[in-house]
């Protein structure tokens, strides 16, 4: 199956406040700030988010303007970018993944924040609870921490003899602690040794993979906020099977992913934006959890690694990349 292709145009301008005082189709568009880390590739996210807005009747320039800010894989830039969006007086900030959501929350307690695809928003302090988020943050969660146990189980199913698994973990991501905890619990149950490698996301990954390649683990789990462009190629160079909860990993050459369907969450972010524009308070909007999940296997990568994917696993796959 062929990978999807995405087209993205980023734009933006200023707007006024408050939202509830303005109708959807006025002469002054609502300004939506977009804050992303820069990896994985934000183009699919922006494409789905724009589609969600169009499905709700919004047209860019007429009803909304987007102020897009990417940290370009440098997490240390997020706080400055969030502060910039606050200075622009955007009406809403949409933050994809946990680090951008944290930066946005630190930058403002007044501007509504719609988080999307975050890991564990309660454990990381973004919200008080899923049902009653409180404050100015709401949106949806990928429940990525809980899904890590399934990823470990899939490693055992794919590689029955696996005993050692390296985990590439983001040293600056607040989600890393629950991410690792879930992996370690599942691995202990299955008799797999976990070797975390803490990665500074702004650094090149070549050195990390050189070190991992020398230790020869049976598999590598990659935290979603570390899915740099080219990471799958580095893993293949060292003949390392890679796993993640993010479907962008197999789409770019990694071996396997199991997780929530990201496009659902990205479109859902537009629904939250619509509700806030129409007057809802973030504190009163329960945080949504995913209801659909997908198993994606890159069969081409399996062949390059000399691996045979169990037939029963292939039958269960929602998408097989050949």
Lowest mean per-residue pLDDT among 7-11, 46-50, 170-174: 7-11
**Domain holding 41: CATH number?**
3.40.50.2300
Sheet-wide strand order for 113-118:
64-70, 30-36, 92-96, 113-118, 137-141
The stretch 165-170 carries a mean pLDDT of 96
Between helices 78-87 and 98-107, what is the axis angle to 10°? 50
Residue 137 lies in a domain: yes
> Which pLDDT score is estimated for 19?
55
Residue 222 lies in a domain: yes
> Which pLDDT score is estimated for 8?
37
- For residue 259, the cross-strand partners are 294
Q: Residue 317 pLDDT more than 60?
A: yes
Residues 170, 71: one domain?
no
Q: Residue 11 pLDDT more than 80?
A: no
Residues 61, 172: one domain?
no
What CA–CA distance (Å, rounded) separates 109 from 152?
A: 38
> Which pLDDT score is estimated for 116?
97
Residues 133, 276: one domain?
yes
What CA–CA distance (Å, rounded) separates 159 from 128?
A: 39
Q: Residue 3 pLDDT more than 60?
A: no
Phi, psi (degrees; rounded to nearest 5) at 243: -135, 150
> Which pLDDT score is estimated for 27?
60
Domain that holds residue 116: 30-142+262-291
**Residue 275 vs residues 19, 27, 268, 288: alpha-carbon distances, Å:** 10, 20, 11, 14
Residues 305, 192: one domain?
yes
Q: Residue 100 pLDDT more than 70?
A: yes
Q: What is the mean pLDDT of the chain?
A: 90
The stretch 202-211 carries a mean pLDDT of 89
Residues 178, 112: one domain?
no
Q: What is the pTM of this model?
A: 0.84
> Which pLDDT score is estimated for 77?
95
What domain count does the chain have? Answer: 2
Per-residue model confidence as pLDDT tens digits over 19-77: 544 444 456 899 999 999 988 889 999 999 999 999 999 999 999 999 999 998 888 99
Of all residues in the chain, the percent with pLDDT exceeding 90 is 80
Instruction: Extract the tokens encoding 230.
Output: 């080219």
Token pair 């200075």: residue: 87
């Amino acid at each position: 199956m062929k990978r999807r292709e995405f087209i993205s145009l980023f734009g933006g301008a200023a707007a006024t406040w408050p939202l509830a005082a303005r109708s959807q189709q006025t002469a002054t568009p609502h300004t939506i700030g977009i804050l992303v880390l820069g990896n994985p590739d934000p183009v699919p996210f922006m494409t789905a988010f724009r589609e969600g807005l169009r499905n709700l009747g919004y047209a860019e320039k007429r009803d909304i303007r987007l102020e897009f800010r990417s940290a370009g894989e440098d997490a240390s830039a997020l706080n400055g970018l969030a502060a910039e969006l606050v200075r622009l007086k955007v009406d809403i900030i949409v933050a994809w993944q946990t680090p951008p959501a944290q930066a946005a929350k630190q930058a403002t307690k007044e501007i509504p924040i719609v988080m999307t695809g975050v890991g564990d928003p309660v454990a990381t302090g973004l919200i008080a609870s899923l049902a009653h988020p409180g404050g100015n943050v709401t949106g949806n969660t990928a429940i990525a921490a809980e899904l890590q146990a399934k990823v470990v189980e899939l490693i055992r199913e794919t590689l029955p003899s696996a005993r050692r698994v390296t985990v590439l973990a983001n040293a600056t991501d607040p989600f890393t602690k629950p991410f690792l905890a879930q992996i370690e619990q599942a691995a202990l149950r299955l008799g797999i040794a976990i070797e975390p490698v803490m990665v500074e996301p702004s650094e090149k990954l070549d050195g990390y993979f050189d070190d991992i390649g020398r230790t020869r683990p049976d598999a590598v789990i990659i935290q979603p906020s570390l899915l740099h462009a080219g990471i799958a190629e580095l893993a293949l160079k060292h003949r390392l099977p890679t796993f993640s909860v993010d479907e962008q990993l197999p789409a770019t050459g990694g071996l396997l992913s199991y997780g929530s369907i990201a496009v659902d969450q990205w479109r859902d972010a537009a629904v939250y934006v619509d509700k806030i524009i129409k007057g809802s308070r973030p504190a009163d909007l329960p945080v949504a959890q995913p209801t659909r999940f997908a198993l994606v296997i890159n069969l081409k990568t399996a062949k390059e690694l000399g691996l045979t994917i169990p037939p029963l696993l292939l039958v269960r796959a929602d998408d097989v990349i050949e």
